[in-house]
Amino acid sequence: MSTITRRHPLNIHIQGWLLALPAIVLLLAFTHLPGIATIIDSFYATPVGKRPAAFVGLAQYQTLLADPIAWLALRNNLLMALITVPLSIGLALAMALWVAGKIRGRAALRLAFFTPTILPMVAAANIWIFFYTPDYGLLNQIIRVLGFSSHNWLGDPATALPALMAVTVWKEAGFFMVFYLAALQQVPPVLYEAARMENAGRWKVFRRITWPLVMPTTLFVAVNALINAFRVVDQVIAMTGGGPNNATTLLLFYIYQVGFSFWDTGYAAALSAVLLALLGLISLLQFRLMGRNVHYR
């Protein structure tokens, strides 16, 4: 926009701010102020009864550093991010390439891939529980046919988190596929024609043309997948309740548990502050990777 600020008469500025006022009030009330309050609260003890909370400095954070469950939640969440993000992205791109290509039954494929996006996580989770159920669950039925013995997927600390990761990838890949589909449509057909003229193989075409050209989409999807990974909570509540032995406790779930089951609000505030810091870190990363204005302009 070329208009210079000074050109607007004052009442335009007032009018513009008035139009934005309801949104500003709501955003302040439910995003900015609670964000700041969370950080302030993390320096106070949990109030008991009607007495005001006592200032305790960094005590909540010392508790946090000494709390093995907090570390476990952080570790689980990092694993969740490190494993589900690349998997979802890779699968999303593969799905998009399949659906955009000349494959048989692409409409059915697209439907199958995208459907999990529309399903409520809680509903899907309750169906997935059956897949993982010991003995007669679907996964165990298949595994027994293949000659292995039945396994309690959600009951074993070693497999519970991977089981939730599978559900997460299943839910997200089709959603991200849509962005790749759009990106693939933007690739100039001339490039593929040129590659065909040079008799380049499929893999070479992908590596030299497709992959570099969908890079902005990959970054965009990666950042969104990363944010989502740190907000995963529905499937934990619906499928494992954080168990067994906190093997599936993730950050947001732990905040929920500490805040609303143990009612330790001071400590929950410190945990929330950690989550805020992580999300802030991701947004810094985003600006570094994408430049300020690529996607949010």
Partner 1 sequence: MSTRTTDRLFDFITTTAAWLFALLWALPLLYAIWAAFHPAAFATLFDLSAPLTLDNFTRAWAAAPFARYFLNTVLLVLGIMIGQFVICTLAAFGLARWKLFGGDVLFALILVQLMVTPDVLIMENYRSLQKLGLIDTLTGVGLPYIASAFGIFLLRQTFKSIPKELDDAARMEGASTLQTIWRVYLPLARPVYVAYGLVSISYHWNNFLWPLIVTNSTETRPLTVGLQVFASVDQGIDWSVICAAALMTSAPLMIAFLLFQRAFIQSFLRAGIR
Q: Which 109-168 residues touch partner 1, going by CB under 8 A? A: 109-124, 126-128, 130-131, 136-138, 141
Binding status of residue 289 toward partner 1 by CB under 8 A: no
Structure tokens at 253: 């779930």
Quick one: 154 or 275, whose CB is closer to partner 1? 275
The one segment of 52-60, 78-86, 156-164, 176-184 that binds partner 1 by CB under 8 A = 176-184
- Token pair, residue 220, equals 């965009």
- Pick out residues in 4-43 that bind partner 1 (CB under 8 A): 4-5, 8, 12-13, 15-20, 22-27, 29-35, 37-38, 41
**H helices of the chain, where?**
10-27, 33-41, 59-66, 68-100, 106-118, 121-132, 138-145, 157-186, 189-197, 202-205, 211-213, 215-229, 234-235, 251-260, 265-290
DSSP-based three-state secondary structure for 71? helix
Q: Does 269 bind partner 1 (CB under 8 A)?
A: yes
Considering only the stretches 57-65, 73-81, 174-182, 186-194, report the one whose residues sit in contact with partner 1 under the rule CB under 8 A: 174-182
Q: How many residues bind partner 1 (CB under 8 A)?
A: 99
Tell me the window of 56-64, 82-90, 150-158, 277-285 that interacts with partner 1 (CB under 8 A). 277-285
What values do phi and psi take at 111, rounded to 5?
-60, -45
Determine the interface stretch with partner 1 among 51-59, 62-70, 186-194, 280-288 (rule: CB under 8 A): 280-288
Q: Can you tell me which of 45, 74, 89, 178 binds partner 1, judged by CB under 8 A?
A: 178
- DSSP category for residue 7: G
Which residues, numbered 46-105, are part of the site for partner 1 (CB under 8 A)?
91, 94-95, 98, 103-105
CA-based nearest residue to 109, from 211, 181, 188: 181
Who contacts 64 (Cβ-Cβ below 8 Å, separation ≥6)? 70, 267, 270, 271, 274
CA distance 267 to 236: 21
Q: Which two tokens stand for residue 223?
A: 């950042």
Footprint on residues 189-208 left by partner 1 (CB under 8 A): 199-203
CA dist., res. 274 & res. 131, Å (int):
34
Identify the sign of the CA torsion 210, 216, 220, 226.
positive
- The Cα–Cα gap between 244 and 76 comes to 13
Q: Measured from the CB of residue 71, what is the shortest distance to partner 1 in angstroms?
A: 20
CB of 147 to partner 1, least distance (A): 19
Minimal distance, residue 247 CB to partner 1, in Å: 19
Residues 234 to 263: which contact partner 1 by CB under 8 A?
234, 237-238, 252, 255-256, 259-260
Q: Which of 87, 276, 285, 290 binds partner 1 (CB under 8 A)?
A: 276
